[in-house]
Each structure stands twice: as C-alpha cells, then as structure tokens.
C-alpha cells in the first residue's frame, strides 16, 4: 500500500498563482507597497512556516447505490460518486496538507495588532502554500500511477459542490484510520466542518486502471487544475483561469436566450478585472432577464469567506434593475443582501460588533444609482479584494466587480480583443 509523508516539503509558490489569489490580473506587476508586502510574506514563511503533507492509499473503495465507501466510511456525494463511476475508479488516495499552525497564529497576531495589510498578504500566502502542497501531492500520485500503469483523477474535497463540508470530520477520521495514524502536524475539525489550522486541505484522489478512458475525458485528469511546472507526467495544459477574489462555488448555468444581445453599450473599455474572468462570472454567477418594458432585472451571487472566525463561507446576492438600452442602461435599482439561508455573514467581525450598523451600511450603499452603466469606467475606487463585508472600501470593490460583470454580459464582448 502506498504511503508518503513529508514534514519539510520544499515550498516554491509561483508568483502567478500568488497574484491570482491576491486578486490581481495575470499581467499585473507587483510594485511599491504590494511588492513589499508580498516579499515580506514569503520571507516570513520561509523562516517560520512549518508545512507538511501526508498521502496514503485507501485499503478499500466501494462505489455503489449513489454512495462512496472508503475503508468502511460512507460518503454521500453525488458529484464525487459520478466522477468515480465515469472513470471506473477502482482505488483511492487520501491526502492531508497544511501550511501549519504558525502562519495562522502570526496572522491572528497581525490582525489584533491592527496590521490588516500584513494580515491579508500572509493569509493569502498561506492559501498559496496549500495550493502548492496540493500540486506536490498530485505529482507524487502521478509518479506512483505512472509506475503502476494507472491514472489519477482530480482531487475532491468536502465543501466542494455536492460534498457537504461536514464530511471533513469523517474524511479526517478515515485518513487517520481512527487513531492509528499520526499526521506530521496538528490538524483538527470543528463541528461546523472547518479545519484548524484553516490553511489546510483534506482531499480524495480517485485512481483508475482504465488509463485510456481518463485520457479521453480531459475533465477527469488533474493536469488542467495543476500549476506544477515542469512536470513529466503532464497530459493536458494548465488552464486555471485567474480569479480576482476567492475561488467560489459556481451557480448553475442558465439559458441567456431571453436577453437582448444587441445592447448598445461600448465594449471597448479598460476593465479593472481580467476580461476572461468577467466572462466566466457572467456565465456562471449572473442571472438576468429582459422584461416587457425592456428594462433588465439581474442578480449576481457572491460567495466568499469571512476574514476572521476561521474564514467561514458567506453568500450575498446583488439585485439590480437597469433601464432599456436606448437609455444607456441606467441603473434604476441596486441592493445587496445576504443570500437566502446564509449564516456566514453573522460571523464577520463588524457584524459581531454592531450587526445593525453593518447591515444598514450594506443596504444603504447604492453606487452609481441613477447613472448609466458605462459610468463604471469613471468610478475611481480603491482596490480592496478582501472576502468579507466589514469595510466600505471592500464593499465598493465588490460592487465594481458586479457592475463590470454585468457590463460584459450586456456588451457581448466575447469577440473583442482582451
């Protein structure tokens, strides 16, 4: 049975990946204060970080009746079940990685010391470390699979679409084989399913002996989501689209047949966000319709995390109504509110301090109300990609994101040069 432990893995975070997680476009050059903070975070982690990773082969994998059973633990995830079934997976690898508790402790100290910039860059560096460790784990598995004439499927984790985050506890117990296996570092799960240290990841990799099938189904190979370079086992190019905020869960795709694609707004503008990302968000997170009076009703779903309280997930909906294209799509209504059923917003630090004041501030903010959608390009706002809603600057950043996504969708710029 395959098992691999590394309590001193080499960390080589690629700057392109770090910039993606920070929210900068791929072409953006870190300069000035951002360059200073990025270099500081890397140096701090090099001196103080204690990353680790652990991999072990599951003793038994059973895929039956819509459930996945791994070493006796029952996992209910239709998405995972379907992926494993489609690739005829016959084995599984269990992975745990962590950037270590030291980073979380330092980040907490920085936050309490009122150093939000340092806090943010170190937090994001921790996320980059976890991503790097995941690619290292994938490389080790591809190396093993190549020797054994097998193929590795993309990893899947509790909290991903179709797999309840509460299964973190069950997966960790499986990885530890109850209490038989000691991991290289500290790792635990709260009742909510959140890991501690939070810059950690539990994952399951399916393994299939049907190498040809995995090769034909490119979406079932891990290569497109793995940034490791160079890699002798690569079977498909890395195609991770750069993100400007946290990698969030996708909404269900929708039909755009009801939308008037001839919207007469200028599409030749300099967007703040990467155009490919805006297009992706327009496809996956935006829903809108054209009403009888030619006005447009739109909803955008934002899914992020709190910047404190262990990065709890939160969801907000942005509702807008725009006038007809003949009026330049004037913004007639704009509001932001927690998505139905969301409880993560109650864990934001400002909500805990004064919930009424924070929610009133979010409700009252209606940037560019009464102005044309094109005016988004004249709106000067600071860049603040924090995932939470505690700060007005961060909320303006999100509003800018929403309006640019809507502009891209209405301009139908897919054929325009980036």
Residue 307 pLDDT class (50, 70, 90 cuts):
low
**pLDDT tens digit sequence for 23-40:** 888 788 899 999 999 999
- What pLDDT is recorded for position 37? 94
> For the CA atoms of the chain, what is the radius of gyration?
22
- What pLDDT is recorded for position 251? 27
Report helix, strand or coil for 155.
Answer: strand
- What pLDDT is recorded for position 257? 39
Task: Give the residue among 269, 68, 53, 210 at the shortest CA–CA distance from 141.
Answer: 53
Question: Could you tell me the two tokens for 355?
Answer: 């919930």
Residue 313 pLDDT class (50, 70, 90 cuts):
confident
**pLDDT tens digit sequence for 194-240:** 899 999 999 999 999 876 544 433 344 445 555 444 444 344 444 54
- What pLDDT is recorded for position 233? 38
Task: Give the residue among 240, 188, 233, 41 at the shortest CA–CA distance from 129.
Answer: 41
pLDDT tops 50 at residue 390: yes
- What pLDDT is recorded for position 76? 85
Show Cβ contacts of residue 100 under 8 Å, excluding neighbours closer than 6 positions.
49, 50, 51, 52, 185, 197, 199
pLDDT tops 50 at residue 80: yes
The mean pLDDT value of the chain amounts to 81
Q: Percent of the chain beyond pLDDT 70? A: 81
pLDDT tops 50 at residue 259: no
Question: Could you tell me the two tokens for 392?
Answer: 């007005």
Please calculate the CA angle 211-162-187 and round it to the nearest 5 degrees: 85
**pLDDT tens digit sequence for 268-293:** 567 877 777 788 888 889 998 898 98
- What pLDDT is recorded for position 385? 63
Which residue intervals of the chain bear CATH 3.40.109.40? Answer: 3-225
pLDDT tops 50 at residue 248: no
- What pLDDT is recorded for position 266? 41
Q: How many CA atoms lie within 13 A of 87 on its CB side?
A: 29
pLDDT tops 50 at residue 258: no
Residue 20 pLDDT class (50, 70, 90 cuts):
confident
**pLDDT tens digit sequence for 321-334:** 999 998 899 999 99
Residue 16 pLDDT class (50, 70, 90 cuts):
confident
Residue 358 pLDDT class (50, 70, 90 cuts):
very high
Does the structural domain 3-225 have CATH classification 3.40.50.720?
no
**pLDDT tens digit sequence for 359-376:** 999 999 999 999 999 999
Q: Centre a 10 Å sphere on the Cβ of residue 369 and count the other Cβ atoms it contains.
A: 13
pLDDT tops 90 at residue 296: yes
- What pLDDT is recorded for position 231? 47
CB 407 within 8 A of CB 300: no
Tell me the torsion sign for CA atoms 242, 244, 249, 254.
negative
Task: Give the residue among 32, 22, 38 at the shortest CA–CA distance from 274.
Answer: 22
**pLDDT tens digit sequence for 52-71:** 999 999 999 999 887 899 99
- What pLDDT is recorded for position 50? 96
Tell me the torsion sign for CA atoms 36, 37, 38, 44.
positive
**pLDDT tens digit sequence for 128-177:** 999 999 988 988 888 888 888 888 888 889 988 888 888 999 999 999 98
Residue 356 pLDDT class (50, 70, 90 cuts):
very high
Question: Could you tell me the two tokens for 331?
Answer: 């913004």
Q: Centre a 10 Å sphere on the Cβ of residue 105 and count the other Cβ atoms it contains.
A: 12
- What pLDDT is recorded for position 237? 46
């Amino acid at each position: 049975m395959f098992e691999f432990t590394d309590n001193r893995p080499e960390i080589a975070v690629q700057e392109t990946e770090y910039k993606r997680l920070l929210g900068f476009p791929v072409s953006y050059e870190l300069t000035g204060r951002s360059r200073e903070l990025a270099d500081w975070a890397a140096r701090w982690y090099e001196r103080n970080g204690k990353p680790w990773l652990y991999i072990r082969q599951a003793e038994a994998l059973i895929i039956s009746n819509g459930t996945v059973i791994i070493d006796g633990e029952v996992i209910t995830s239709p998405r995972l079940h379907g992926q494993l079934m489609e690739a005829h997976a016959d084995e599984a690898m269990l992975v745990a990685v962590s950037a270590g508790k030291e980073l979380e402790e330092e980040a907490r100290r920085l936050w309490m010391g009122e150093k939000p910039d340092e806090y943010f860059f170190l937090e994001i560096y921790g996320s980059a470390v976890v991503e790097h460790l995941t690619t290292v784990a994938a490389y080790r598995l591809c190396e093993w699979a190549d020797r054994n004439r097998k193929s590795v499927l993309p990893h899947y984790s509790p909290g991903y679409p179709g797999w309840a985050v509460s299964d973190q506890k069950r997966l960790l117990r499986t990885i530890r084989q109850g209490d038989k296996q000691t991991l290289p570092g500290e790792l635990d799960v709260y009742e909510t399913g959140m890991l501690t240290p939070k810059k950690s990841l539990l994952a399951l990799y399916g393994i299939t002996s049907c190498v040809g099938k995995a090769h034909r189904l490119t979406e079932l190979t891990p290569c497109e989501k793995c940034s490791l370079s160079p890699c002798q086992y690569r079977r498909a190019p890395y195609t991770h689209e750069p993100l400007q905020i946290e990698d969030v869960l996708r909404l269900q795709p929708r039909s755009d047949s009801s939308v008037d694609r001839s919207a007469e707004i200028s599409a030749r503008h300099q967007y703040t966000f990467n155009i490919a990302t805006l297009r992706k968000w327009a496809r996956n997170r935006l829903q809108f319709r054209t009403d009888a009076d030619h006005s447009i009703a739109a909803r955008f779903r934002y899914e992020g995390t709190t910047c404190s309280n262990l990065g709890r997930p939160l969801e907000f909906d942005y509702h807008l109504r725009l006038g007809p294209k003949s009026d330049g799509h004037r913004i007639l209504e704009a509001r932001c509110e927690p998505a139905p059923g969301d409880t993560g917003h109650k864990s934001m630090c400002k909500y805990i301090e004064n919930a009424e004041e924070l929610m009133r501030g979010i409700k009252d903010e209606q940037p560019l109300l009464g102005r044309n959608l094109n005016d988004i390009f004249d709106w000067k706002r600071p860049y603040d990609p924090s995932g939470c809603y505690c700060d007005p600057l961060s909320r303006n950043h999100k509003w800018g994101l929403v309006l640019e996504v809507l502009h891209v969708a209405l301009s139908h710029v897919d054929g325009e040069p980036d």
